[in-house]
């Protein structure tokens, strides 16, 4: 009787474990040693499953046993990719992959391919800084907000009197305050530049760029006005009070991509008393004549700042608007370092722009780094 009871018990356990295994999603993506990648998705009711984002065209997956679809691609080049599945015309993230690109409405999963020679934005065996997560109450918006702050390697062990410059770095329309680190890898780019002696140790401040929660699509003016008030009224004071910063224009830079490029250029140009280094990456700059009226009226603007830096890709859909903005700067006699590069409106371009911009800031006109404070 005891034997039959134990047999029945173990049979139930075996059945339960089998049912649990049935619920475990298949491994995806699986990166092989030769940099081939296997994507898998369990979708027994699906009629079609495609992989989007890995190539310029959609890639069809093949249905296998128990409704598990799979596809092997590669070998793939080293890099950071975003991808999604299209199941019967409905896009979805990979349910087996916890790495998701931070966005207002997340819709892509992340895949990283590494080698023994890391790319400039990948992890290297060098001293690393720290990314801090901050929640704060916005005085102007009257609600809680979020931002991320990177401190350079060794910051926590430094003398209490040491101070560092700050680069305020803004994201694009669909992104969040987490995107510059999780997908842009801004902290690793700075770690590697500092280790190579190409950039001075600095802080990165990455706030939430969506200040107007009722913003209509395509109308960024209200959001810009509210974001500027939050940045100047809450973010800057919080950063200077919490961290050992150089709390003056010579110790502040401002830059961003797309919508964040607009925010950086307009805030920076209007406030040379706060930011000596100003940049814009693939910036969307509507109504610049209106929003930049204060900066354009400043006859000493060129003497007040150290750098006005603007870059955009030759295949970027915002190029024509950016060229109009550049012409507007020339019209008002504002000097800028303007470059049209390879690429379009995409993250590989913006990571490289950060790599180019960071070594240019917090140097004296002769090219020497600012001495530590």
pLDDT on residue 356: 97
Q: Could you tell me if 90 and 169 lie in one domain?
A: no
Q: What is the mean pLDDT of residues 369-373?
A: 50
Is 4's pLDDT higher than 60?
A: no
Which pLDDT score, from 0 to 100, does residue 128 have?
A: 97
Average pLDDT over residues 297-322: 92
What pLDDT digit, counting tens, does each position of 169-221 carry? 999 988 999 999 999 999 999 999 999 999 999 999 999 999 887 765 555 77
Residue 220 is assigned to a structural domain of this protein: yes
Say yes or no: 37 and 155 in one domain: no
Q: Is residue 10 part of a domain?
A: no
Q: State the average pLDDT over residues 231-235.
A: 96
Q: Within a domain: residue 184? A: yes
pLDDT tens-digit profile of 351-369?
999 999 999 999 754 445 5
Q: Are 305 and 329 in contact (CB under 8 A)?
A: no
Q: Does the residue 51 lie in any domain? A: yes
- Decide if 134 is inside a domain: yes
Domain range enclosing 170:
130-360
Cβ neighbours of residue 260 closer than 8 Å, sequence gap 6 or more:
169, 170, 171, 172, 209, 281
pLDDT score of 223: 83
Instruction: State the pLDDT at residue 144.
Output: 95
Q: Over 90: is that where the pLDDT of 131 sits?
A: yes
Say whether 251 sits in a helix, a strand or coil.
Answer: helix
For residues 260 and 171, is the Cβ–Cβ distance under 8 A? yes
Same domain, 252 and 328: yes
201 and 334 in one domain? Answer: yes
β-strand pairing of 307-313 with 277-281: parallel
One domain for residues 66 and 209:
no
Which tens digit of pLDDT belongs to each residue from 135-165? 999 999 999 999 999 999 999 998 888 999 9
CATH code of residue 67: 2.60.40.10
Same domain, 95 and 145: no
- The number of distinct structural domains making up the chain is 2
Query: Are both 246 and 279 inside the same structural domain?
Result: yes
Residue 12 lies in a domain: no
Are 149 and 64 within one domain?
A: no
Is residue 226 included in any domain, yes or no? Answer: yes
Least confident of 227-236, 261-270, 363-372: 363-372
Q: How far apart are CA 27 and CA 24, in angstroms?
A: 9
Average pLDDT, the chain: 88
Domain ends where: 60, 83, 113? 113
Of 67, 84, 113, the domain-final residue: 113
- What is the CA angle 70-74-78, rounded to 5? 120
């Amino acid at each position: 009787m005891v034997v039959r009871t134990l047999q029945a018990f173990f049979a139930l356990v075996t059945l339960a474990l089998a049912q649990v295994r049935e619920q475990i999603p298949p491994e995806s993506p699986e990166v092989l040693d030769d940099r081939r990648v296997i994507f898998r998705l369990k979708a027994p009711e699906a009629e079609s499953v495609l992989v989007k984002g890995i190539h310029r065209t959609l890639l069809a997956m093949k249905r296998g046993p128990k409704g598990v679809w799979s596809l092997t691609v590669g070998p793939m080049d080293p890099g950071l990719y975003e991808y999604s599945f299209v199941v019967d015309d409905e896009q979805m993230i990979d349910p087996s992959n916890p790495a998701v690109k931070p966005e207002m409405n997340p819709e892509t999963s992340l895949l990283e391919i590494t080698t023994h020679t890391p790319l400039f934005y990948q992890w290297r065996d060098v001293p690393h800084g720290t990314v801090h997560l901050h929640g704060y109450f916005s005085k102007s918006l009257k609600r809680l907000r979020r931002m991320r702050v990177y401190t350079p390697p060794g910051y926590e062990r430094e003398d209490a009197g040491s101070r560092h410059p700050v680069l305020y770095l803004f994201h694009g329309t669909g992104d969040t305050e987490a995107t510059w680190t999780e997908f842009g890898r801004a902290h690793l780019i700075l770690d590697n530049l500092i280790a190579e002696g190409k950039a001075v140790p600095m802080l990165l401040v990455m706030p939430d760029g969506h200040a107007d929660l009722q913003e209509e699509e395509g109308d960024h003016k209200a959001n810009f006005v509210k974001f500027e008030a939050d940045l100047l009224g809450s973010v800057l004071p919080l950063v200077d009070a919490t961290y050992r910063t150089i709390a003056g224009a010579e110790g502040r830079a401002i830059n961003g991509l797309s919508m964040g490029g607009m925010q950086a250029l307009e805030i920076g140009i209007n406030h040379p008393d706060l930011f000596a280094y100003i940049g814009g990456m693939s910036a969307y700059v509507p109504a610049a004549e209106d929003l930049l009226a204060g900066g354009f009226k400043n006859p000493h603007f060129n003497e007040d700042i150290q750098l006005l830096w603007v870059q955009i890709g030759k295949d970027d859909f915002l190029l024509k608007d950016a060229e109009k903005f550049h012409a507007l700067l020339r019209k008002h006699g504002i000097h800028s370092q303007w470059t049209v590069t390879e690429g379009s409106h995409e993250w590989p371009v913006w990571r490289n722009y950060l790599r180019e911009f960071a070594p240019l800031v917090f140097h004296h006109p002769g090219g020497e780094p600012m001495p530590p404070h």
